[in-house]
């Protein structure tokens, strides 16, 4: 596997080794041992999957405090733009983001550490999105920031009038008004 460092420390793109021939292809999508040796020492305990149509934007979400989550995300079918925003107060990259296109064809994965808000938008007619989490979902500890915060200046690659949001995702605060953020100095991995 090839681990690509991004401009924000800890946020990485992972390209698996894909073996193909005229029958199709095979790749190892996850190995705990290889992940720990090459990315970080975390243990994933929950897998999730969503299916969405073009223009659906989910995010920018995070979980708070002891319920914080790291995510390892990938697209099984289709194409999305995936985004991680640094929301760690005191971080030299606070408020900056990394965006990466994930597709069923490129098989890239994106690691989003704790202390980051995460979201994605579907760029194809439909997409199947999978992600591993290193902490259980706790609805009472959800946090989020607005997908269209002008200070973040995220280019979602979809015209704003084509963005489809849940009712909940229409009401998130701007980063500067968010009531809960992470502390850059805290080790969220115990």
Q: Answer yes or no: are the C-beta atoms of 34 and 49 closer than 8 Å.
A: no
Quick check: 16 pLDDT over 90? no
Q: pTM for the complete prediction?
A: 0.92
Angle at 115 between CA 110 and CA 118, to 5 degrees: 45
For residues 84 and 25, which has the higher predicted lDDT (pLDDT)? 84
**Strand pairing partners for 47?**
132
Domains of the chain, each with CATH number or no CATH: 2-18+28-183 (2.60.120.10)
Residue 168: helix, strand or coil by DSSP?
helix
Respond yes or no: is residue 172 known to be catalytic: no
Respond yes or no: is residue 61 known to be catalytic: yes
| pLDDT given at position 190 | 42
Q: Answer yes or no: are the C-beta atoms of 70 and 113 closer than 8 Å.
A: yes
| pLDDT given at position 117 | 97
| pLDDT given at position 188 | 56
Local confidence band at 146 (pLDDT 50, 70, 90 cut-offs): very high
Q: What is the mean pLDDT of residues 60-81?
A: 96
Among 61, 97, 118, 172, the active-site one is 61
Residue 139: helix, strand or coil by DSSP?
helix
- Burial grade of 11 (CB within 10 A; 0-12, 13-18, 19 or more): buried
Quick check: 187 pLDDT over 50? yes
What is the tens place of the pLDDT at every residue in 153-172?
A: 999 999 999 999 999 999 99
Strands, E, within the chain: which ranges? 2-5, 12-15, 18-21, 24-27, 46-53, 57-63, 71-77, 79-86, 88-89, 97-103, 109-112, 116-122, 126-133, 142-144, 182-183
Among 97, 131, 172, 188, the active-site one is 131
Backbone angles phi, psi at 54, to 5 degrees: -50, 135
What is the tens place of the pLDDT at every residue in 21-69?
A: 888 878 778 888 888 888 889 999 999 999 999 999 999 999 998 999 9
């Amino acid at each position: 596997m090839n681990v690509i460092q991004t401009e924000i420390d800890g946020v990485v793109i992972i390209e698996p080794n894909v073996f193909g021939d005229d029958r199709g292809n095979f790749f190892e999508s996850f190995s705990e041992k290889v992940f720990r040796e090459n990315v970080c020492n975390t243990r994933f305990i929950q897998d999730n999957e969503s299916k969405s149509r073009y223009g659906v934007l989910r995010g920018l979400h995070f979980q708070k405090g002891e319920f914080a989550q790291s995510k390892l995300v990938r697209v099984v079918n289709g194409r999305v733009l995936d985004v991680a925003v640094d929301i760690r107060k005191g971080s030299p990259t606070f408020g900056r983001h990394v965006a990466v296109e994930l597709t069923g064809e490129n098989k890239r994965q994106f690691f989003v550490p704790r202390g980051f808000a995460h979201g994605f938008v579907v760029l194809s007619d439909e997409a199947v999105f999978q992600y591993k989490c290193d902490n259980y979902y706790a609805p009472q500890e959800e946090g989020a920031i607005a997908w269209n915060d002008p200070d973040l200046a995220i280019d979602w690659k979809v015209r704003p009038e084509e963005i489809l949001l849940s009712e909940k995702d229409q009401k998130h605060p701007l980063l500067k008004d968010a009531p809960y953020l992470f502390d850059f100095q805290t080790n969220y991995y115990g």
